[in-house]
A = this chain, B = another copy of it.
């Protein structure tokens, strides 16, 4: 990415980047897709720049598709980060050096950058992390075990998680994070993992049923030792309706 831009920096919006916090749910963990480049010890969020002829939302979708190999993902802009000191001279030098950025493009890379944060919820089993170069690593990492990140990426990640927690009160969640068929304990576990707290089983059942977005299936979960739990699917039409109009009628 950086190499392509070095030769065509005039085709990109100056001083603006995109960073994506991509969440997946697996093994009862909320995981985040992170990248380790060969030129930095710290990890980073997947990101990119904005071509002059592309909407910012499209640029974010591009990052997501490029990094997960899947399309049509739940993706939301959540905040823009623009403190002056988020920029880091040391990091700039490392990038210039590694990509052998030519003189004419150096000014572009070393200008002040403001970054727009997006978060995505993806199906862990369908998303296949894609490297951009052979020297880099891209991995799903439990959000509780995130290593040190470059620049203000930890702040961006924390803000995404905070937004996701707030939005649990405003919208249904799970369609993009769970397999098509799931049990009630699996759905509850998803909520507990995101909120980082235990929920009362009966209360959860009552609240989630009140939303009216679940269909209980006739079949039950197989391959379980004890009493087989019921399987559910989301009623996609009702789910999308609640997603659009908001969960909480509140006042």
Contact = CB atoms under 8 A, between A and B. Distances in A.
Contacts of A84: 52-55
Given A55-B82, A84-B54, A169-B170, A13 B251 contact: no
A13 B112 contact: yes
Contacts of A246: 166, 169
Q: Which of A15, A80, A116 has the most CB of B within 10 A?
A: A80
Interface string A62-100: 000000000000000101101110000000000000000
Given A14-B15, A191-B251, 4 more contacts: A13-B15, A166-B246, A168-B251, A204-B251
In the A-B complex, the 5 residue pairs with the closest CB atoms:
A56-B82, A169-B250, A80-B80, A14-B14, A55-B83
Interface in A108-129: 111-112, 114, 116
A214 interface: no
Given A54-B84, A82-B116, A84-B55, A169 B14 contact: no
A177 to B, nearest CB: 15
A248 interface: yes
A105 interface: no
A14 to B, nearest CB: 5
A178 to B, nearest CB: 16
A57 interface: yes
Contact of A248 (B50, B79, B82, B169): B169
A59 to B, nearest CB: 8
Given A14-B15, A169-B170, A251 B207 contact: yes
When all copies of this chain in the complex are counted, the total is 2
Interface string A185-209: 0000001000100010000100100
A208 to B, nearest CB: 9
Interface centre among A50, A199, A207, by most B CB within 10 Å?
A50
Contact of A114 (B56, B112, B195, B199): B56
B251 A114 contact: no
Contacts of A116: 80, 82
Given A13-B114, A207-B251, A82 B53 contact: no
Question: Looking at A13, A111, A169, A251, which has the most chain B CB atoms within 10 Å of its CB?
Answer: A251
A186 to B, nearest CB: 16
A16 interface: yes
Contacts of A114: 13, 16, 50, 56
